[in-house]
Amino acid sequence: AVSDAWMGAIHQALKEQRRRDVEAPKAKSCVALMMEWAEWLQFPVKFFIKLTVPDMDNPKLQHLYPVSFVMSMFWLAVFAYCVVAACDGIHEDFGISVTVLGFTVAAAGTSFPNVFSGMVVAKQGKTSMAIANALGANVQNVFLALAVPWTIQTWAIRGGPFPMVVSDLLPAVMECMITLMPVVLVYVCCSSSMPRWSGALFLLTYVVYLVFALGQQITQCVMWPLPCSAA
């Protein structure tokens, strides 16, 4: 009886294997194919990062955190340069305004590191650090990312002031201050906390800002959507 049951189990397993062999492979969904392509395209980047940035999840390599920090900053600079170079190419090939590209492609591409770092610390319950990361990144953009090249340009290269091609800077600064107000108001009015609905509010604020900024750029009217004659 035992041998018969054993032979029956083998026979059933062979039938199941034969049935699986003759069945056509299941078609992959479009999303799965896109994820596979994205994973394949990421291989060169992941390879060089794995080669140059010590893995902080490995306890044996955690003493190399200064190297990991410096190399992470290096790769951020490389990728940011690639994003800006791509924007220049799009501007030259398709004639899209550099201001529009700055509002959209460049802003999104260079802000992804801030988004991911904010998500990581927020999931760890460090809300204050996530907020400080978002605000501090913009402070760094103004007082470090702009200050360093300007200092080098004025002191080491030209040895004095140099002209900057800037137009309508005051409205842009005012718009940045206005879009920052919802963050401050929510933080103050909600007892130094960020409710769940604040994320949707901030996204809506960004969309409104983007619409106004693009409208002003396309129409070349600083007071858009008001008529320029009213300015």
231 in any annotated domain:
yes
Give the per-residue pLDDT at 231.
Answer: 44
71 in any annotated domain:
no
183 in any annotated domain:
yes
106 in any annotated domain:
no
Residue ranges making up the domain that contains 184: 166-231
Write the DSSP string, 71-110.
HHHHHHHHHHHHHHHHHHHHHHHH---HHHHIIIIIHHHH
| Whole-number Å distance between alpha carbons of 190 and 198 | 10
91 in any annotated domain:
no
Give the per-residue pLDDT at 67.
Answer: 93
The pair of three-digit structure tokens given for residue 121, joined into one six-digit string? 């610390």
| Whole-number Å distance between alpha carbons of 138 and 122 | 18
Give the per-residue pLDDT at 210.
Answer: 83
174 in any annotated domain:
yes
For residues 225 and 215, the answer to whether their CB atoms sit within 8 Å is yes
Give percent of the chain with pLDDT exceeding 90.
Answer: 4
pLDDT along the chain (231 residues), means of 10: 65 70 62 80 85 88 90 86 86 79 76 79 80 78 80 77 69 78 86 82 87 79 71 44
CA dihedral 116, 121, 123, 124 (to 10 degrees): 150
pTM for the complete prediction?
Answer: 0.62
Cα distances (angstroms) measured from residue 48 to each of 8, 52, 101: 53, 6, 28
138 in any annotated domain:
no
- Domain tally for the chain? 1
Give the per-residue pLDDT at 19.
Answer: 66
149 in any annotated domain:
no
